[in-house]
Amino acid sequence: MLPSPRRPGLRILISLADQSLSLRDEGGRELRRYPVATAARGAGEASGSYCTPRGAHRVRAMIGTGQPLGAVFVGRRPTGEVYDEALATQYPGRDWILTRILWLCGCEPGVNRFGPVDTMRRYIYIHGCPDSAPIGVPVSHGCIRMRNLDLVELFETVIPGTPVEISEEPLPA
């Protein structure tokens, strides 16, 4: 059972090894586990690496409240489009950012914050993707992709500032 909407005190753990995201309460108890897709190039913090950054982060901004499932975002702004196969055919190869965005900010100076390793300046998000896109395997350009319905559930549960830990280790049981 998920906590009431927009509850403080929760945290998110993301495992690159498991391609999973775990939502945990203050005591560390897992409330939900979701499959995700992280970077095809693996872990890394350097700008331009197309890797998923590791370490301590937080949700800096939450974008997309009230948008429909499949809403298309470009530059963190909804375009007014809703993803469908016709749109996919029109823009082949586009890295689709859909439904909601949780924009991440690194918390560790020199590791994932400031300079050439700054997660926020790299525009690393937790975001939705087409339902036809692979999940559970590393295929993204650095972001953490989720199924749209899972993302809405997560989005409606967390608040800005929610801690996010990204690790190469498997998630604890």
Q: What is the pLDDT of residues 94-132, one digit of tens each?
A: 999 999 999 999 999 999 999 999 999 999 999 999 999
Domain enclosing residue 46, as ranges: 37-159
Model confidence over 6-42: pLDDT tens digits?
A: 777 999 999 999 999 999 999 999 999 999 999 999 9
Q: Among positive and negative, which fits the CA dihedral 95, 154, 135, 137?
A: positive
Task: Go through 159-173 and write b for each residue having 16 or more CB atoms within 10 A of its CB, e for each that does not.
Answer: eeebbbbbbeeebee
- Residue 67 pLDDT class (50, 70, 90 cuts): very high
- Residue 1 pLDDT class (50, 70, 90 cuts): low
Cβ-contact 41, 33 below 8 angstroms: no
Number of structural domains (the chain) is 1
Question: Does a structural domain hold residue 129?
Answer: yes
Question: Does a structural domain hold residue 13?
Answer: no
At 4 the pLDDT is 55
Q: Select from 148, 134, 166 the least CA-distant residue to 64.
A: 148
Question: Does a structural domain hold residue 122?
Answer: yes
At 3 the pLDDT is 57
Across the range 150-165, mean pLDDT stands at 97
Question: Does a structural domain hold residue 28?
Answer: no
Average per-residue pLDDT in the chain?
95
Cβ-contact 12, 39 below 8 angstroms: no
Question: Does a structural domain hold residue 7?
Answer: no
In the predicted model, is pLDDT for residue 54 greater than 60?
A: yes
Q: What share of the chain is helix, strand, coil (3-state, %, to 5)?
A: 10, 35, 55
In the predicted model, is pLDDT for residue 158 greater than 60?
A: yes
Q: Would you state the structure tokens that stand for residue 107, as one six-digit string?
A: 């918390």
Tally the C-alpha atoms within 13 A of residue 101's C-alpha that lie toward its C-beta. Answer: 23
At 93 the pLDDT is 86
